[in-house]
Structure 1
């Protein structure tokens, strides 16, 4: 059990140790910046081991209040002898990865819902029931029959849309009773993806123009960590409820839908080579829609990978080499998601705002009295996610 005097002395000794080490190794630290990171990690680990050992020590029955108040035989003779607690468990380390992974799967499903996969299958059901297509006893026809019979056992389209509204804030409508739409998700998710892409963009520039690109000014891991933790904390309270079961069922439903669309008789009906060709053919022929299949599908795949990465404790790493190595896993996914979202008007790259022209000290407004100032490009606000 650490006293207030021991607590204060510990941090004073750690500070003195850091000061002594940096003075003795000043020349080596200049030529080898990685040495400084290694020393910092070792000292931090030493400090954390002492704090953890103290936290495991049994506390007195009254929590140390008698010592502090000067009551009983264990009363402290001075303030330095009173018990000092190290703190509580960090907030960011209390998130269950399973729920965030489930959110990633729901994001993947949402993008396929927006593409129109389930609408295509329902349209095929209508045509099949009306006898308007030449399907009779093939594998696709039989799968359509089974798909229709099982519908009463599944979550409905309204249930799915309500879940998307509650988790991501996408679409419109009241949503499930008692729930609130997560209107902050898209903003936080886009912000995290932006910071990941900017980090690696800065890193690549640093690798090109500098011999040793080991400088915190080239890509701040603190910014990436904070944006990722903000997103993860936002999803923490919105991933409870029936989300886990719903995503398993709808993932099975998506697999069944593609089994229908990829059957030989259905592909032959539309002259298609694969299931995606069937989806696009039905959307064009019966819904007269502009196809967004490719960017939407890639947004689903890459967005799910980013959220899966965020579900692990990688975001809590403070060591630069370790964090960069782990972040590399989603570097390309983040860049691809941002490019796809930008192509659809759902996100915009914000890195240019960090650099101002030489003759300007602050960003100029885009419009002044309804007119765009000279030299400032006209930009459009990202399009909102429309109702399903």
Structure 2
């Protein structure tokens, strides 16, 4: 799917989706680090009824996977996030609607999918609370606050391409101030970076997290945590989960691979909240690796969008079906009859 999507997408859209920041060191390191994790399978266990079901944020999921937020999915298919949400619903996993979704959250929850709402903190904190209220009224099941984007990382592919949005793709949750995202810059720069800098705040702090915790009764998730100290602080602020994530290698280039940061955060939290892993997940074996290292589940971002580019809802659904098939296969071959047993596996690092 990755290769097929790369072959059909326009070059600038392909670079926007596939690229990372800086020299893309962290982008590449995410996969390299994942491939260094080796599982120690158990044998002579009854896996004749191998089941992949679990709960994420207290709600049932068919496998320990949620679809991560990816901005502007109408860039790759006319239905964009709408088709992707339907695919997630069919797969029985949560779908995360982004602040920069090109389809309104109300249409996404109407698909019947379990929808989480990802929030970038706007410059006006009142707008943040308005977005949360809108998402709550639409029926979302969790709020996912992204905390690693004070501004957009230097994504050199986008800068070289002078990347800007086509007129038919809009940020559905930002009614005003989106013109900059559609205006190609005069020199090497990214219109999306300029828009992000104008729309979102670089002064997000722990006080903002505490204020958001006070404003919503929904599960609150912090996405973009890599330091154990920050994970502990998050729990002290009352969050329900953290997502160990380096934003898919799209923010600080040189940041630690997410899977390398995961064990330290799991140890520091000691089960006080759920821990999810994001960045670099490409297979069912990767899902099992994350669980063996202590995660409750994973978020997967780019792969469903590759499927979306290839075949809309059917393509995104196929990606999630493949991920589920691979995970069940890995789970059973590792001697685990269910997801809880995966957390008991040992791992070795090459």
Task: Report the TM-score range of the alignment, normalised by the length of the smaller protein.
Answer: under 0.3
Pick the structure with more helix per residue: 1
Pick the structure with more strand per residue: 2
Which structure is larger by alpha-carbon Rg, 1 or 2? Answer: 1
Question: TM (normalized to structure 2)?
Answer: 0.24
